[in-house]
Amino acid sequence: MSYNLLKGKRGIIFGALDENSIAWKTAERIHKEGGTFVLTNAPIALRMGQIKELAEKTNSEVIPADATNLEDLNNLVEKSMEILGGKLDFVLHSIGMSVNVRKGNHYTNQNYDYTHKGWDISAVSFHKTMQTLYQKDAMNEWGSIVALTYMAAQRVFPDYNDMADNKAYLESIARSFGYFFGKDKKVRVNTISQSPTPTTAGQGVKGFDGFISYAEKMSPLGNATAEDCANYTIAMFSDLTKRVTLQNLYNDGGFSNMGVSDEVIKAFEHE
């Protein structure tokens, strides 16, 4: 179903890799709602993923950009405005990577070069992106910027490793930069804290399948899917949420307010 919520709006979507990724689903929904956009990812991700297929399907152009590189971001923002014919109305930051997780390093035994790299990609890239947009005055008034996050920023999920710290930093950047973007340019900045979702990135975390089923049992409405997150993001990009900013918004079926559920208790009753 389409409501034409984003008719005439234009933006940039970071991080679509394959059809499991939340950014991919969001791109499809934006297209359906009448929005136009540029797709971007790191050159290596573009080689690995199927983004060309998404670009064809949504009549979009792909601009390779390393989100940690200011030169790449400058080029991305300038070219996007050229291609789309004006300033931007929305930006989705859907980027996260921990080299420590990939290499199997425990949280208590980090390689700090890897820690720094993961922090730069997963968190500081959001600051760099917003700083580029802000300095180039690239956002229309009442525009909306959203980054995807996870509740490990607030609570302990042991196997989420240093990504938990990256997400906490990301959420802080959203609030701090969101203040200036709101005050100076009337642009809102929020993070969406999503249920564990079986994306290519998510599946790199140890014990992920067991955790998805635990979260499903803990959440009164069950886990939010990638499609649910895409729909929420559309609402945040639309004019219906004009005064929502500096928020970390949970899209998790109620998980974040649960202590325990009947299903989880049942699973342990006979031990």
* 234 annotated as ligand-binding: no
Respond yes or no: is residue 160 known to be catalytic: yes
- Tell which residue, 53, 60, 106, has the closest CA to residue 83: 60
Among candidate residues 3, 160, 169, 250, the one labeled active-site is 160
Among candidate residues 3, 107, 150, 214, the one labeled active-site is 150
What's the one-letter identity of residue 140?
N
Token output for 230: 């895409």
* 30 annotated as ligand-binding: no
* 44 annotated as ligand-binding: no
Spatial separation of the C-alpha atoms in residues 110 and 200, rounded to whole Å: 22
CB-CB contact of 70 with 128 (8 Å): yes
- Residue 194's φ and ψ, nearest 5 degrees, are -95, 150
Q: Between β-strands 88-93 and 10-14, what pairing exists: parallel, antiparallel or unpaired?
A: parallel
Q: Helix or strand or coil: residue 124? A: helix
Spatial separation of the C-alpha atoms in residues 190 and 90, rounded to whole Å: 11
* 34 annotated as ligand-binding: no
* 95 annotated as ligand-binding: yes
Separation in Å, CA 164 to CA 107, 115, 157: 10, 11, 8
Torsion of CA 98, 18, 57, 133, to 10 degrees: 0
Respond yes or no: is residue 232 known to be catalytic: no
Spatial separation of the C-alpha atoms in residues 225 and 254, rounded to whole Å: 13
Residue 253's CB is within 10 A of a number of other CB atoms, namely 19
How long a stretch of residues is the chain? 271
Spatial separation of the C-alpha atoms in residues 245 and 182, rounded to whole Å: 8
Tell me the binding residues for NAD(+): 15, 21-22, 95, 167
**Residues tagged active-site:** 150, 160
